Structure 1
């Protein structure tokens, strides 16, 4: 993309690292190297080679980089989900999975040649000091934050810091054409993993979870409780595009829906040791209808929840076959600030299914299978999903389920057309968001009179804004018949406006009207909702 944009709130950092389940604790080895690792000719060979390069090689070489390459090459020979995390990436990865960081509490773009605030975090450090969307942060302390050579990593480093530390910000407010300075005290800023919560219908609540971090279960319980107070007797749990995270968090979440004593999953290591995890009496949504939404990018912890409910004949799994990741990693520190997430066991669903797809032909082939799903038509038709009969399992109530290569949903919803998916890509890559920020930046006062409810119910994207967006996309060399998809594009523009003006819940609620999976949930809950059902059947024909 030609435009730069960044967030001071990290989201899913290093997707390849996050794609998997890992056990919550880290391993700290206190034994001496002599006790932990006995003398081994293969290990001695590597150590000697590195020493020879260090002391004898004709040129100066960064042996740290050689070690990093060596570690990565070793792990690539094991499985696709055993990964090395270099020292310089550990803090970012840890923040994402911890669920918070210390900073000033803003999201921002590097817009043109300055740092432009998209939103401040509610009740965060910057919001308390009166910083607003559209403000430019020109300097932090003695560091200048404008110019053509802005580096997002450096900017984030200057805005973050130790809890309680202060930073003096120089700010320009375009809407008032004035400069001012303010001192912001850095504090803990949450990185939400439950990113959307609202009432889908009068009695169906909706929760979107984008990863399983340390804070996810607490966020989920808070969201579920709020929905129940609004009358939710059923739940749509959206795990689409969720790559996974902590195993223990997935177990806790599954327990919310399963009655005491129901098996959630079991793991098995190379010694054959089996660890079974059962539901407890703590569940707050037991015996109530739940719809779990998954797609081809739902992996690991997402698949644990879907598999646990499906195998216990609880709820309905809606969507497309999930990624197919059934390995469990444990994070182990390497002593220099780096770490390795090493696969230590496999997990199995209650019926005994392993949903891990094969990686015998190497990592490249493993991820190529993901592309093949699109090419062989299985994202468009459930009949194109091919599973061996040897992987057939039966639930307690007699439902047939399959292992190998992911969770196959109970109710299939095909992927959208190429054009619809392209609009989604424009959205997910920030193209629409960047355009909307520029639009608001030029005329933010136009929206000042709208309350959140008024905007959701009354605001309509006009033809002028739509045509401006189409022209913007053409300038960026994005090709699409924009007028054929005018209604969908206007919906996305309105949703993105709502997100920047209000919150992610407003964004998700607006988009839900054009979301085929959520419309499928409504249809399943209320069979009289026929239009979607007829349209869906015609698409599959």
Structure 2
């Protein structure tokens, strides 16, 4: 071998290894050729692939093998834990966008009324709001393309209005309150899908933040809201995680870090190999000296429980409400190569004291997801004494507080649920968005007056009349829904006003009005006074 060859031999070998790693990283590990690894597992994969190929090429009738694959994937996941799930291609984009925290578009919410696009409101900080589009505007044309009287569904309308970032769309709009046509040029841009529903001051020193899920943008939204409340004098905070089903673990960790001192353990995860990964707080916390009250209920899950568990186990703040859902499994989203994905459980997480809050799922998925009925029947939602705990799962915090694992976060201060069927049914209905279109039509009839009100005047002076309540009940009957309100008339009026306020002023107005006389918030006020 020449001196030249010897000199460059290590470089050649290194380059060859690098190329091999790159090619190996691109190989499909589900390939049925057996060329990557020849193992018993490979043969099992080949078995499934061959069966599908036989059906595809030899079966007597035409069969959609894509659907067979979907059924096979779901069948496999059915035998795993309740939270390992398959996301088919047609759902993946919507699911991914919901967790991304924003999308590119013009930023309006709308109804399609009488085959015409009617703007409910221009989304806050979105392109349409900046351009001057308002609630009640009718979008008639987009880049000269007629959008009314064409029997378009919402997806078709959205495609007409969406486009690449920084591209322009020329809209011709009819503004009913001014009885004239207006032209707008809107530059498409990033529109936030906010996960912080509301942030406002309840008293001079008590702030409130509600988070509906943990998406990519949640920590950024939360930090902005927290900073704003601190500037207004908040040295005590209500963090509302009720009905928050979770999301990205990383966002929950960053939020917990805002309340915990440097080097405090936030959580640790454990894989099936026994590998433990611990996560500690940093010195970047903005609210380490403030008092925090975390609101939870039976629908608070996963990342919500991470935040609550980290604070409770570090003797920070007070958990108020009812026992949380009980999901302590960590999922990782993995692409299946055809636009679909699987969220596969890869680890369990544990709170700082070492407790798992994952509920048992040995009796199958149906029993697991029906566990709420058990809580309802055994009286747990009405009295904390009915919460079943096991002494073998008892843990103690550094401050001496006893906490339990085995299924959810048990609050420090219990607040019962109103389990009266009519009340529960009404609350579910009101939170479902069932009055959105009714209130929009109400606003349309009274838009000139309502547009003249500022936020304070609306809160202080606007009242929903009895006739409006009767009109809403009649509206529900059109959909074969008969609602008897009896003593809940005040609650119905509050939700009607809140929904009107939401369409006029945004989500914070909705939460602010709905939270009046809220039992958990009232309990926090009592604790603050004490």
How high is the TM-score relative to the length of structure 2?
0.90
- Partner secondary structure for residue 133 of structure 2: coil
Q: CA RMSD in A?
A: 2.0
CA distance in 1, matches of 2:403, 2:241: 19
Deviation, structure 1 residue 369: 1.1
Aligned position for 1:404: 406
CA distance in 2, matches of 1:133, 1:328: 41
CA distance in 1, matches of 2:149, 2:168: 24
Aligned position for 1:298: 300
1:433 to 432, 436, 460: 436
Structure 1 residues 12-51: aligned runs within 5 Å: 29-31=25-27, 33=29, 37-39=37-39, 40-51=42-53
- Partner secondary structure for residue 50 of structure 2: helix
1:269 to 268, 271, 275: 271
1:499 is aligned to 2:495? no
1:83 to 82, 85, 109: 85
Change beyond 3 A, Cα 1:131–1:256? same
Contact 2:294 2:320 in 1 (8 A): yes
Change beyond 3 A, Cα 1:60–1:157? farther
Contact 1:87 1:337 in 2 (8 A): yes
Contact 1:236 1:292 in 2 (8 A): yes
Q: Which has the higher contact order (CA 8 A, sep 6+)?
A: 1
Change beyond 3 A, Cα 1:35–1:189? farther
Moved more, 449-458 or 177-186: 177-186
CA distance in 2, matches of 1:378, 1:321: 9
CA distance in 1, matches of 2:128, 2:329: 41
1:472 to 470, 475, 478: 475
Moved more, 228-237 or 468-477: 468-477
Moved more, 142-151 or 84-93: 142-151
Structure 1 residues 43-442: aligned runs within 5 Å: 43-141=45-143, 145-146=147-148, 150-416=152-418, 417-442=420-445
CA distance in 1, matches of 2:197, 2:139: 26
Deviation, structure 1 residue 327: 0.3
CA distance in 2, matches of 1:295, 1:321: 6
Contact 1:427 1:433 in 2 (8 A): no
Deviation, structure 1 residue 143: 5.9
Change beyond 3 A, Cα 1:272–1:166? same
Aligned position for 1:447: 450
Deviation, structure 1 residue 436: 0.7
1:511 is aligned to 2:511? no
Runs of 5+ consecutive residues of structure 1 not aligned to the other structure: 1-27, 528-541
Moved more, 375-384 or 76-85: 375-384
Contact 1:419 1:480 in 2 (8 A): no
CA distance in 2, matches of 1:285, 1:36: 51
1:489 is aligned to 2:485? no
- Partner secondary structure for residue 452 of structure 2: coil
CA distance in 2, matches of 1:107, 1:356: 38
Change beyond 3 A, Cα 1:385–1:167? same
CA distance in 2, matches of 1:36, 1:486: 67
CA distance in 1, matches of 2:75, 2:148: 40
Moved more, 229-238 or 430-439: 430-439
Change beyond 3 A, Cα 1:29–1:379? farther
Aligned position for 2:528: 525
How high is the TM-score relative to the length of structure 1?
0.88
Contact 2:196 2:210 in 1 (8 A): yes
Moved more, 266-275 or 498-507: 498-507
Runs of 5+ consecutive residues of structure 2 not aligned to the other structure: 1-23
Deviation, structure 1 residue 422: 2.4
Change beyond 3 A, Cα 1:50–1:432? same
Deviation, structure 1 residue 162: 1.6
Moved more, 367-376 or 493-502: 367-376
Report the number of matched residues.
500
